[in-house]
Structure 1
């Protein structure tokens, strides 16, 4: 299974062909337009399933299946958390919970960015004990902890660690939070303003199946977005299928 998260910086209908060259099975896209506006050219592969969340028709959260995976929004969805969405994923080699994330709720007086993720991991605590993936644009990094004293980035990382859920990038490449060597975001599309703010966290049983991880480079992606994609490939054997 290949999972990709990418903040496309709008107009996904014009950029789908670029990211689909990576052949995702599941694609999570931030700043994706509403389905009413999402008209692809006839040459673009159509998704087999698709969910969209948000209150801005020009920029929301799209979750696409380009494989046999099917999506169902869970009844536990808290609409106050806007575009952090718990999804039941079925139809593949195994079932799991996907929490798709775009941490950007400007209407919340408690905080627009990482505070949204903090609220989500607490509200969805009961979902974090099973086979789980949380992925997307968190709009956060440990370097900004002091700016977010309640529910900051480190608090989210620690909360997930209590559930044995960890960042694939940091564990796979042995990176330290706040000292990442591979940025996923370039402020104002400037190479001299790099930050790592996009993540994929998985439960331990899924982390053990990570085959490779890739973060797109500035040179390859900056003409399309201020973010680069985070690409993770999982290799599932008979053992995990038997336990599904």
Structure 2
């Protein structure tokens, strides 16, 4: 199975066709508009099999699947945390799609949002087929010494649930020492960061990981798509 995560930086209706080359089964897209409220017929046709959630019709998170792969929203209340979409793929594979945001939180912005969600111990993440995928707006290099919900704390919690980062496994790199950026802040090459991730449970084997290059992706977004090729063990 091939899974992509990409923060499209808005206007996904004009960009989705660029992802066809990957021939993915599942797309996790941040900052995309709600297909149900879009007037673009091509986008609506593309989004014939999807789930979406967001604070406005123009910017949310969507999970799009190949025809024939059922998507079901998992009944788990994330409360005011932003922005998460719990999905069951093909009636058997739990996915937590993520786009962590500040969420008007004075303390627990961005990665703190995921840390708080994990404290709720969502049962669907305890299965071997679980996945946590998306734009976390976070990196271990930004850990603060006196904060107990750093990026590294979240990674440790995920590992305790059996979920490991596919990128770091595949390339044998440490958290915070990534050599392939997934974000060029403000589309500036001098501001490269790695903030997009795919964590997979023990039921998955990682066969390949690919990070999109500057061409053509930097023309479309400040984020690069990350492609995970996985197989059930």
- Give the TM-score band, short-chain normalised: over 0.9
Unaligned runs of 5+ residues in structure 1 are none
**What SS does the corresponding residue of 1:232 show, helix, strand or coil?**
strand
Query: What is the Cα deviation at residue 96 of structure 1?
Result: 1.0
* Equivalent of residue 103 in structure 2, options 102, 106, 117: 106
Q: Which runs of 4+ in 1 moved over 3 A?
A: 36-45
* Equivalent of residue 181 in structure 1, options 179, 182, 196: 179
Query: What is the Cα deviation at residue 229 of structure 1?
Result: 0.4
**What SS does the corresponding residue of 1:72 show, helix, strand or coil?**
strand
Query: What is the Cα deviation at residue 194 of structure 1?
Result: 0.2
1:204 match: 202
1:213 match: 209
Query: What is the Cα deviation at residue 112 of structure 1?
Result: 2.1
The change in CA–CA distance for 1:43 and 1:109 in structure 2 (over 3 A counts) is: closer
Maintained 8 Å contact 1:53/1:82: no
How many residues are matched? Answer: 232
> How far apart, in 2, do the equivalents of 1:162 and 1:115 lie?
18
1:55 match: 55
1:137 aligns with 2:135: yes
**What SS does the corresponding residue of 1:108 show, helix, strand or coil?**
coil
The change in CA–CA distance for 1:193 and 1:9 in structure 2 (over 3 A counts) is: same
Maintained 8 Å contact 2:35/2:47: no
**5 Å matches for 1:14-25?**
14-25=14-25
> How far apart, in 1, do the equivalents of 2:34 and 2:47 lie?
15
1:13 match: 13
- Give the structure-1-normalised TM-score: 0.88
Unaligned runs of 5+ residues in structure 2 are none
- Give the structure-2-normalised TM-score: 0.92
